[in-house]
Structure 1
Amino acid sequence: MKDPGDAEPSRQATRHRPPGPPRQRTSRDGTARPPSAGTGQEPPGGGRAAARKAARAGDRGRKRRRARPPSRRKRVLRIVLGVISALVLITAGGGAYLYEHLSGNIKSVAIGGGGKEKADSFGRTPINVLVIGSDGRNSKDDCKLGGGCGSSDSTAGHNADVEMVVHISADRSNATAMSIPRDTMTRIPACQGTNGAPSTPGYEGQINSALQYGPACQVKTVRQLTGITIDHFVMLDFAGVVKMSDAVGGVSVCVSDNVYDTYSHLKLSKGQHTLKGDAALEFVRTRHGLGDGSDLSRTYAQHIFLSAMIRKLKSAGTLSDPTKVYALADTATKAMTVDTGLGSIAKLIGLADDLNKVPPKRITFTTMQTGTSPTNANRVIPAPSASALFAAIANDKPLTSPDGKKTSAGEKTGASKSPASGGSGSSPSPSATVAPSDVTVSVDNGTSTSGRAAAVGAALTAKGFGHGTYGNASTPQAKTELAYGPGQKAQAQTVADALGLPSSRLSSTGTPGVVLTIGADWTSGTSFPGGSGSGGAKADTHAAVSGAHVEHADDSTSCAKVSKYKTVEINGVPMTPSQAYAASPNKKDSAP
């Protein structure tokens, strides 16, 4: 399925009881009931007839108790046990054949070291996974969905049209899924191609293009951009989305109005729909039909879809049925490519179990805050405020409170600007009074870690700052410092906001220019490390969600907002998606 908008640069691009005698039970009114048959004990008072009568009364009490609906905690426990039981059935009761069959479905690729997650005080570590949605058409099923057909052994020529950093907290109490818009401009690092993909010396480009040099390159690019340690990746192709939505019996979503996206071919009437097959793919790929018609709108639709799928997966009817679980496992393992650290059924079950521990109300979907690229009005760069979101994830900070409420003070903050604006609708940090494009930053490496100046400098360039000189400091530096010349304090503050650098690290000099000297207190990542005792800027969870379009997986009331702009066209005539719906009565709806 080819989205014409992908080829139009003028358009807005943009989850035992101990041994011993049986205990005496009591009836509903608190009186003693006889022990169970077979215990060798004679019930006192009344002989066998009385015992039978008491037993019948006990049976009625048990029936009354069974009629009570289970508590929420018991329902959750039943779901978890259902999942485990089903997987045990698949891997044990089903025999070695089923286990080997599922294991044989999995394709894995090594991604190289990216550092280790920092353990909490109890020795627990968080998990970070990059979820990649590839636009590659590698199979007959993919080819039927449109576009060119490629090789299943390589990602050469493929793009990462979906990128989500999924963070599962160390204590497994919460999770965050942060989308990175595919049209983000950044520095692609030097990458050694694997599995038939070419190598690259590095370049400035669109972030989704890194997949052309292999999944490891895509992971490396996101690590460099965000400063987040990423241990794993999971990549799905087009057909995988279709098959997984079918395996769970369809995913229920809502649209705010009639919509027809003539590019993704999504056509739905206003209201709720259960999406299966191609309709599911059309929904997660629609861009022109929703919001402001930008790529940011596509990320919002994906959050709604994935939230609905999580709710469906956590329903007892789906996960307590071994047949459904096996069908889903078979479908998923055929559709995905993972890193070698997840390349077995046991490891995938472990990851799924970790995520299943998180209640939907504490699974937060966000989109990286963006601003307009200074070199291309139809592309975006991370906004200065994105550094707070990156820091919150890197420092394992939840974006919801324990009761599931948002940590921010207010409402969802989705994009609402016209496509003509070229931006995402997010606002810069209040303290930033100078645009990044008006600031040129030179970076010196005062650490013993090679490449630090280039890495941080590339991150600044990706955020829209001008490229100064990169090199080594004349002497080793213990602390990171940002120096600025006469009249350049506001420029330095803009840089500090983008990096999460506290104001205490700024100093004035008599020499013109803004120079960042990286010290031994900052040896990895591209956001200044936070935490008490380090002097760094702590991860601010309130700032992290500002402008990040927050959705929670338990929100079943959220409707995808249909675009009010003329983002589509029929026979060359621009119109809104609702107008296109009205103008196409003979075009069959994607779902009833």
Structure 2
Amino acid sequence: MTDPWDGSAGQATRRHQATGHPAPPGMPGPRTREAPGRKAPDREGPDRDRDTDGPGRPGEERPTGGRAAARAASRSRSGGGRARNRSGRRARPVRRRRRVLRAIGISVSLLVLITAGGGWWFYQHLNGNINSLSLTDGTNGDSAGKEKADAFGRTPINILVMGSDGRTSSTDCKLGGGCSETGVQSGQNADVEMVLHVSADRSNATVMSIPRDTVTTVPACKNTQTGKSTTGYTGMINSALAYGPACQVATVHKLTGIPIDHFIQVDFSGVVKMSDAVGGVSVCVSDNVYDTYSHLKLSKGTHTLKGVAALEFVRSRHGFGDGSDLGRTYAQHIFLSAMIRKFKSAGTLTNPTAVYKLADAATKALTVDDGLGSIKKLVGLASDLDKVPAKRMTFTTMQTGADPNDSNRLVVAASAQSLFSTIVNDQSLTTGSGKKSKAATATATASAVPPAEIAVTVENGTGITGRAATIADTLLDKGYSPDTTTGNTPTTASTTTLTYGSDDKSAAQTVAKTLGLSSSHLKKGTDSGLTLVIGTDWSSGTTYPDSKADTTEAVQNAHAQTADDSKSCAPVSTYKTVSVNGVAMTPTQAYAVSTGKKDSDS
């Protein structure tokens, strides 16, 4: 990616060449009309000669015979063309024009330098805003997992987005409450957790919310900032943040099997700053709602929320759905979808003032991993996200069931494994029809080498006698080269891989298509030719078992919707999830009786 912050000289040069304005001193300007040693063309014409019947030069007689004679005399003195008297009147405007142009050039140079200086200050200012931490804490080795590149070397991006409930400052105490007795606190939980998956080919994205009430296993972790550590325990998934963002990353990876490449954490005040920076976010509620816990109070319909009102909306768990954390995730998807649409709308990212406010607010509001710890890296991520159309961004909520040991807690449903698999396998959930993403089908569409020209070395890594011969016979039956051979690996292999040389990618794609191997099984090696290692993940059959999840099953009960859906309203709870003056009632009833309470957007 090209760094948008070019040096001032580069910007100025391009600007002058594009506009035709004079270049600052020291910079190449536009080509002059007269090249050295060349005579300027005669631009004299009838209109230019009208002033030649005035007095001649001192000491000379004016030619007789009218204007024609005067012109002839003038040409005989000057050699034709425009007069070039160094002391003559016509030289003065030229020198004056050059002085003016030089002054303009100097002014433009100063303006460019000032602008570039401001840009550099802005760049340094934003970099200084960013707080970054390590993605892992070193306790569990590869605790975040690693992405697998596809056949073209592209990798997906998986980002864990966390919303902290920490009251770690007086501002967050005021916004979140709960500090009246304890004061500013040091602990925090991840009350919002979303895995943002951007496909390897940047054509689609999936956002999966993980309800905070989910009970899971938290691995051994150590907070690199506070030194607080744990040997591991079973508890609510949001509690892992107490041991640092790296612990939350490790916990989510352990639960889902999804590699986590980056994390982004935002606190209460960050939500307020971000919503203000974009000029508010438009949301809709299905009915009048008053959540007496988050203090959200809105009438039925559409509202533009800024600041504290936006925070009240994304924090409300008693106002929507069944009053649990599930209802809150649905409302958050509506909020984020609206924010994405606003980012992509005309004018939002082309207004310098809006961009400055957004960038300044975002960098102050976020804590990120070291892999995103600079403006250049964040701009690169934003560029990748911007490539995905809103209609191909799918919001989902991880499927859960009631915890048999605690009615206030949730456990991961078996069907969630399909949702996890779609993300791991880089499948799009745009339609929920089960179709594979472009990245997943690239192997089948790019191959062009005919089987007869391809010889494969097939190695048995399963420990099962005859597996290599079975696959080799399959290839021979399908017309592959008779030079195909078999052998055994030194040790058992758990994963089937097809390794290819630098010039054999297309041949490998042909083999992969024949055997039903996805692009994740292809690996570029240093030796020429193709080597297929049959792993224990392929113990029978002549085509690789399809590991792709059924995307229809993946989105069942996941409350899936795409970011381009501007008509959805957050479903207000019909349960008695709130109370007014000690009386339990629905959020809509609470709205009706609380006439003295101002609406959040008033």
Give deviations 1:515-547, integer Å, cap 9, x for gaps: xxxx9757xxxxx9xxx9653632221111111
Which amino acid in the other structure matches residue 298 of structure 2? Answer: L
Question: Counterparts of 1:377 and 1:338 in 2: how far apart (Å)?
Answer: 34
The corresponding residue for 1:578 is 588
Provide the C-alpha distance between the structure 2 equivalents of 1:561 and 1:394, rounded to a whole number of angstroms.
31
Moved more, 171-180 or 192-201: 192-201
| Residue 258 (structure 1) aligned to one of 266, 273, 288 | 288
Which residue number in structure 1 is paired with residue 170 of structure 2?
A: 140
1-side partners of 2:559 and 2:194: how far apart?
14
Distance of 1:334 and 1:197 partners within structure 2:
24
Relative to the length of structure 2, the TM-score reads 0.61
CA distance in 2, matches of 1:155, 1:92: 42
Task: Determine whether 1:204 maps to 2:234.
Answer: yes
Which residue among 93, 97, 105 is the counterpart of 2:129?
105
Q: Which residue pairs with 1:460 in the alignment?
A: none
Asked if the contact 2:165–2:176 (Cα under 8 Å) also holds between the matched residues in 1, the reply is no
Task: Tell me by how many angstroms 1:549 deviates.
Answer: 0.3
Tell me by how many angstroms 1:341 deviates.
0.7
Q: State the SS of the aligned residue for 1:303.
A: helix
- Report which stretch shifted further, 93-102 or 175-184: 93-102
Contact between 2:168 and 2:186, CA under 8 Å: does it hold in 1? no
1:119 CA drift (Å) = 1.1
Report the Cα offset of residue 407 of structure 1. 2.9
Instruction: Supply the distance in 2 between the matched residues of 1:541 and 1:118 (Cα, whole angstroms).
Output: 20
Equivalent in 145, 155, 160 of residue 115 of structure 1: 145
**1 CA distance for matches of 2:311 and 2:493?**
51
Q: Structure 1 residue 408: deviation in Å?
A: 6.8
Matched, 1:541 2:551: yes
Amino acid at match of 2:557: G
CA shift at 1:238, angstroms?
0.3
Cα gap change, 1:102/1:574 in structure 2, threshold over 3 Å: closer, same or farther? Answer: same
Give the C-alpha shift of residue 317 in structure 1. 1.8
Q: CA deviation at 1:156?
A: 5.1
Q: Which residue of 1 aligns with 2:312?
A: 282
Shift of 1:280: 0.3
Q: Secondary structure at the match of 1:123?
A: coil
Whole-angstrom CA distance in 1 between matches of 2:548 and 2:319: 39
2:246 corresponding residue in structure 1: 216
Partner residue, 1:349 = 379
CA distance in 2, matches of 1:197, 1:294: 33
The corresponding residue for 1:359 is 389
Larger radius of gyration: 2
Matched, 1:380 2:410: yes
Q: CA deviation at 1:590?
A: 0.4
Could you say what secondary structure the match of 2:263 adopts? strand
Q: Which has the higher contact order (CA 8 A, sep 6+)?
A: 1
Matching residue within 391, 398, 407 for 2:433: 407
User: How far does the alpha carbon of each residue in 1:12-33 deviate from its partner, in whole angstroms, 9 at most, with x for none?
Assistant: xxxxxxxxxxxxxxxxxxxxxx
Task: Answer whether contact 2:167 2:185 (CA < 8 A) is retained.
Answer: no
Question: Structure 1 residue 155: deviation in Å?
Answer: 9.4
Counterpart residue number, 1:5: none
Letter in 2 for 1:111: L
Question: Which residues in structure 2 correspond to 1:421-436 (within 5 Å)?
Answer: none
**Residue matched to 2:458:** none
Deviations 1:319-357 (Å, cap 9, x if unpaired)?
110111111000000011000011010000000110000
TM-score by length of 1: 0.63
Deviations 1:432-455 (A, max 9, x none): xxxxxxxxxxxxxxx9xxxxxxxx
Counterparts of 1:17-416 in structure 2 under 5 Å? 94-112=118-136, 113=142, 114-148=144-178, 157-400=187-430, 405-407=431-433
Once residues 212 and 120 of structure 2 are traced to their aligned partners in structure 1, the CA distance between those partners, rounded to angstroms, is 41
Q: Decide whether the 8 Å contact of 1:254 with 1:272 is kept in 2.
A: yes
The secondary structure found in structure 1 opposite 2:197 is strand
Code of the aligned partner of 1:261: D
In structure 2, how many angstroms separate the alpha carbons of the residues matched to 1:268 and 1:394? 39
Deviation at 1:146, TM superposition (A): 3.5
Q: 1:394 to 1:90 in 2, by over 3 A?
A: farther
Give the secondary-structure state (helix, strand or coil) at the position aligned to 1:379: strand
Q: 1:550 aligns with which of 544, 560, 563?
A: 560
Determine helix, strand or coil for the equivalent of 1:317. Answer: coil
CA separation in 2, counterparts of 1:90 and 1:349?
Answer: 23
1 CA distance for matches of 2:340 and 2:404? 38
Greater mean alpha carbon deviation, residues 155-164 or residues 246-255? 155-164
1:466 corresponds to:
none
What is the CA–CA distance in structure 1 between the aligned matches of 2:536 and 2:556, rounded to whole Å? 28
Q: Tell me how far 1:116 sits from its aligned partner.
A: 2.4
Query: Which 5+ residue runs of structure 2 have no aligned equivalent?
Result: 1-32, 34-111, 137-141, 436-461, 463-490, 496-533
CA RMSD of aligned residues (A): 3.2
Unaligned runs of 5+ in 1: 1-37, 39-87, 410-446, 448-475, 481-518, 523-527
Cα pair distance change 1:318/1:326, threshold 3 Å:
same
Residue-pair matches, total: 394
Q: 1:110 and 1:89, CA in 2 relative to 1: closer, same or farther beyond 3 A?
A: farther
Cα distance in structure 2, aligned partners of 1:119 and 1:252: 38
Provide closer, same or farther for how the CA distance between residues 194 and 389 of structure 1 changes in structure 2, counting only shifts above 3 A.
same
How far off is 1:97 after superposition?
1.1
Partner residue in 2 for 1:16: none
Shift of residue 90 of structure 1?
13
Cα separation, 2, equivalents of 1:533 and 1:123: 24
Cα shift at 1:111: 1.8
Q: 1:138 touches 1:149 (CA, 8 Å); kept in 2?
A: no
For residues 300 and 231 of structure 1, the distance between their equivalents in structure 2, rounded to whole angstroms, comes to 25
Q: Structure 2 counterpart of 1:102, which letter? A: L
Query: Equivalents in 1 of 2:401, 2:117: separation in Å?
Result: 54
- Residue 597 of structure 2: aligned partner: 587
Tell me the amino acid that sits aligned with residue 570 of structure 2: A
The structure-2 alpha-carbon separation of the partners of 1:213 and 1:175, relative to structure 1 and needing over 3 Å to count, comes to same
C-alpha distance in structure 2 between counterparts of 1:121 and 1:563, whole Å: 47
The one-letter code sitting in structure 1 at the alignment partner of 2:275 is S
What is the CA deviation profile of residues 452-486 of structure 1, one whole-angstrom value per residue up to 9, with x for unaligned ones? xxxxxxxxxxxxxxxxxxxxxxxx97679xxxxxx
Q: Secondary structure at the match of 1:381?
A: strand
Is residue 207–residue 393 contact of structure 2 (8 Å, CA) maintained in 1? yes
- Residue 89 of structure 1 deviates from its aligned partner by 13
Cα distance in 1 for residues equivalent to 2:191 and 2:402: 19
One-letter amino acid matched to 2:191 = D
Match of 1:563 among 569, 573, 585: 573
Aligned to 1:204, the other structure's residue is in SS state strand
Query: Retained in 2: the 8 A contact 1:245–1:275?
Result: yes
1:255·1:271 contact (CA, 8 Å) conserved in 2? Answer: yes
